């Protein structure tokens, strides 16, 4: 099974690729995949799956060069199982969170085993968000949207606690939504500050929901569809934060591809990647809908894209009005 990978790794050892490390990572990847496929309803709480998952995480956390990451992700064993692995792990994580949420006996977030890990992660994310979208000011009727909170929306609750702003969680599974609402109640959050909506993230109207800031969790499927939906349904300036894996983290979680980023350029004029750990990153998008920004030497101003239909303006007067508002925002930002 591993003969082809071993040959390619050994042949590339002269260029600095650690063959034994990649061989061990591929073998562990296949072991975890086999455990997930053999289980009737796989969950990360199941002892065999948990053991293999943690072993793979430890190998992924080792230092890898760019050539080693490419060799690992391009290996035959990984490529043939990648999509199925992402799907199995999404379901396994969901079942594990559902069980933990149902069995949670505490009455505050600090009672969670991994509270400090979540706390530090969200603190770093909000620091990056503050630097990227510092001009975003929520009105009393607006809230932050968190897509994919699951049965234990710990990150969403920490965002609410650290910002003091209302947060709306969005999930398309009714059972998960009910568990999430009960978990929020157990931790003492009021319904005014934390709400949960059962809706498809790719169909939810973020404009009517009044969500100028949207977080997309890393375990969510079809991130590109959600990103397009946010861009289509928002009016005015907004910020989109998308969690995703980086480097070897792609083994266990679906990444944000370059095509997905390019697909939302008609809705967002700028974006930045922020590495949060060796396996995890967050990507921020910002901009006005239906406009593109072109950078010139002396000044920056919006211009219509080549395809005028993408502007979706009924008259030129509307474009001029939006242009004036854009200049006003730019003046306030300076």
DSSP bridge pairs for 239: 213, 286
- Domain membership of residue 240 as a residue range: 109-287
Place of tokens 């080792």: 62
Among 126-130, 193-197, 311-315, whose mean pLDDT is lowest?
311-315
Place of tokens 């992700």: 73
State the pLDDT at residue 284.
Answer: 82
**Residue 133 confidence (pLDDT) above 80:** no
Its pTM stands at 0.75
State the pLDDT at residue 112.
Answer: 81
Contact 53/36 with Cβ under 8 angstroms?
no
Confidence of residue 107 (pLDDT cuts 50, 70, 90): confident
Q: What is the DSSP string of 15-33?
A: GT--HHHHHHHHHHHHHHH
Residues 258 and 223 in one domain: yes
Residues 120 and 259 in one domain: yes
**Residue 235 confidence (pLDDT) above 80:** no
CATH number assigned to the domain comprising residue 181: 3.40.50.150
Residues 248 and 130 in one domain: yes
Which of 47-61, 220-234, 315-329: highest mean pLDDT?
47-61
Name the average pLDDT for the chain.
76
Residues 175 and 308 in one domain: no
Average pLDDT, integer, range 65-80: 88
Contact 289/266 with Cβ under 8 angstroms?
no
| Domain end among 103, 123, 157 | 103
d(CA 18, CA 65): 9
Residues 128 and 260 in one domain: yes
Confidence of residue 302 (pLDDT cuts 50, 70, 90): very low
State the pLDDT at residue 319.
Answer: 54
Phi, psi of 154 (to 5 degrees): -65, -45
Residues 267 and 230 in one domain: yes
State the pLDDT at residue 307.
Answer: 40
Top-confidence residue, 308 or 222: 222
Overall number of domains in the chain? 3
Average pLDDT, integer, range 47-63: 89
Specify the DSSP element, H or E, that contains 197: strand 194-198
Residues 172 and 186 in one domain: yes
Share of the chain above pLDDT 90, in %: 4
Residues 19 and 133 in one domain: no
| Domain end among 62, 87, 103 | 103
Q: Which residues make Cβ contacts (< 8 Å) with residue 48, sequence separation at least 6?
A: 35, 39
Residues 54 and 162 in one domain: no
Q: pLDDT of 250-298, one tens digit each? A: 888 888 766 666 666 566 666 777 777 778 888 887 765 443 333 333 3
Confidence of residue 12 (pLDDT cuts 50, 70, 90): very low
Residues 230 and 316 in one domain: no
**Residue 73 confidence (pLDDT) above 70:** yes
* Residue 81 structure tokens: 């199982």
Among 16-30, 57-71, 142-156, 244-258, whose mean pLDDT is lowest?
244-258
Residues 54 and 129 in one domain: no
Residues 130 and 262 in one domain: yes
């Amino acid at each position: 099974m591993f003969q082809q990978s071993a040959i390619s790794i050994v042949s590339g050892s002269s260029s600095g690729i650690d063959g034994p490390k990649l061989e061990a990572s591929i073998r562990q990847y296949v072991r975890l995949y086999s455990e997930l496929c053999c289980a009737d309803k796989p969950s990360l709480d199941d002892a065999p799956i948990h053991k293999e998952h943690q072993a793979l995480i430890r190998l992924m956390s080792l230092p890898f060069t760019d050539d080693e990451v490419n060799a690992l992700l391009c290996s035959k064993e990984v490529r043939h199982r990648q999509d199925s692995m992402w799907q199995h792990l999404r379901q396994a994580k969901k079942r594990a969170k559902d069980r933990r949420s149902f069995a949670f006996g505490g009455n505050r977030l600090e009672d969670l085993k991994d509270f400090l890990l979540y706390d530090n992660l969200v603190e770093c994310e909000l620091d990056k968000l503050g630097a990227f979208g510092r001009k975003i000011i929520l009105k009393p009727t607006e809230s932050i949207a968190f897509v994919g909170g699951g049965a234990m929306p710990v990150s969403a609750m920490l965002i609410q606690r650290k910002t003091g702003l209302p947060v709306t969680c969005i999930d398309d599974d009714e059972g998960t939504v009910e568990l999430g609402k009960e978990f929020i109640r157990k931790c003492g959050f009021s319904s005014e500050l934390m709400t949960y909506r059962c809706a498809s993230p790719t169909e939810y109207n973020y404009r009517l929901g009044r969500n100028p800031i949207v977080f997309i969790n890393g375990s969510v499927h079809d991130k590109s569809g959600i990103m397009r939906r946010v861009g289509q349904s928002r009016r005015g300036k907004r910020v989109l934060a998308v969690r995703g894996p980086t480097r070897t983290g792609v083994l266990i979680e679906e990444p944000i591809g370059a095509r997905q980023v390019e697909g939302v350029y008609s809705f967002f004029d700028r974006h930045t990647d922020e590495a949060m750990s060796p396996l995890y990153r967050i990507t921020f998008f910002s901009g006005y809908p239906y406009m593109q920004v072109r950078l010139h030497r002396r000044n920056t101003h919006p211009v219509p894209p080549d395809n005028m239909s993408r502007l979706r303006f009924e008259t030129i007067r509307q474009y001029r009005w939006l242009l004036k508002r854009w200049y006003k925002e730019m003046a306030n930002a300076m």
